[in-house]
């Protein structure tokens, strides 16, 4: 009986010893871990300040558009291109457009006709002493003449038949959809006595058009107007 109690007591003593040793080992391990230096850490990059928005985004500035006539090259092709002429006036079914520089004038005549179209510079009484440019288109070919009217109702033969010169430098014409368009270029002052100098300011004009390609047949409609240079 005593031997059993002794053996049991010895076993309990050893068990308590093993438990204390285990607890002591865990405490020592915890102390050891807590005493180890912490692993170095890489610092996070500094945060860059962001400027607050100054307002709603604006589109990139665009270059100003060219004024009418300045960005379009004049071409004597019988077509009135948008921007080709900075000035234009309409008289019923007749329209005249023009531009000028220091030396030349550029003109387009457009009328609702398949016949001749004309403009006269500086008429005095009716048609007298008018410097006339008249033309027509037939079979896609332009015929244009520099004329001078010698009387109130003509005649107005070409300048070259009166001792003058043909001073139309460039020209072109088209006939399409019942309209005739004629463009031409001449000097503001040609020096020909059968041509009226065109001056800065207001210039009186005579306009007319006919129903046929015969330039000496009577006009269908005519009138007076002004060109401002």
| Contact (CB, 8 A) for 171 and 183 | yes
Alpha helices in 36-158 (DSSP H): none
Entry pTM: 0.68
Distance, in Å, from the CA atom of 159 to the CA atom of 120, rounded to the nearest integer, reads: 13
Residue ranges, the chain, pLDDT below 70: 1-70, 215-219
Distance, in Å, from the CA atom of 229 to the CA atom of 98, rounded to the nearest integer, reads: 9
Q: For 16-39, what is each residue's pLDDT tens digit?
A: 555 535 545 555 544 444 445 544
| Contact (CB, 8 A) for 216 and 153 | no
For the chain, the first-to-last Cα distance in angstroms comes to 145
The percentage of residues in the chain with a pLDDT greater than 70, rounded to a whole number, is 67
Instruction: Give backbone dihedrals phi and psi of 9, rounded to 5 degrees, phi first.
Output: -65, -40
Alpha helices in the chain (DSSP H): 2-35
Q: For 76-88, what is each residue's pLDDT tens digit?
A: 999 999 999 999 9
4: left (phi over 0), alpha (psi -120 to 50) or beta: alpha
Distance, in Å, from the CA atom of 178 to the CA atom of 222, rounded to the nearest integer, reads: 18
| Residue 65 DSSP symbol | P
| Contact (CB, 8 A) for 111 and 97 | no
Distance, in Å, from the CA atom of 229 to the CA atom of 227, rounded to the nearest integer, reads: 6
Q: For 73-116, what is each residue's pLDDT tens digit?
A: 999 999 999 999 999 999 999 999 999 999 999 999 999 999 99
């Amino acid at each position: 009986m005593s031997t059993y109690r002794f053996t049991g007591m010895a076993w309990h003593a050893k068990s308590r010893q093993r438990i204390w040793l285990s607890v002591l080992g865990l405490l020592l391990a915890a102390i050891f871990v807590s005493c180890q230096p912490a692993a170095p850490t890489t610092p996070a990059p500094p945060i860059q300040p962001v400027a607050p928005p100054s307002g709603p985004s604006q589109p990139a500035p665009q270059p100003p558009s060219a004024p009418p006539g300045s960005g379009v090259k004049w071409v004597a092709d019988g077509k009135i291109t948008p921007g080709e002429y900075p000035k234009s006036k309409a008289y019923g079914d007749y329209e005249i457009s023009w531009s000028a520089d220091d030396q030349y004038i550029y003109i387009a005549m457009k009328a609702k006709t398949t016949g001749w179209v004309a403009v006269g510079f500086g008429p005095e009484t009716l048609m007298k002493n008018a410097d006339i440019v008249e033309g027509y288109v037939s079979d896609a070919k332009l015929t244009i003449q520099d004329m001078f009217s010698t009387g109130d109702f003509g005649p107005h033969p070409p300048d070259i038949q009166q001792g003058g010169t043909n001073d139309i430098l460039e020209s072109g014409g088209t006939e399409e959809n019942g309209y005739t368009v004629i463009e031409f270029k001449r000097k503001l002052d040609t020096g020909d006595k059968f041509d009226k100098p065109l001056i800065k300011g207001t210039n009186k004009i005579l306009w007319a058009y006919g129903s046929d390609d015969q330039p000496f047949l009577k006009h269908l409609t005519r009138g007076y107007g002004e060109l401002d240079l």
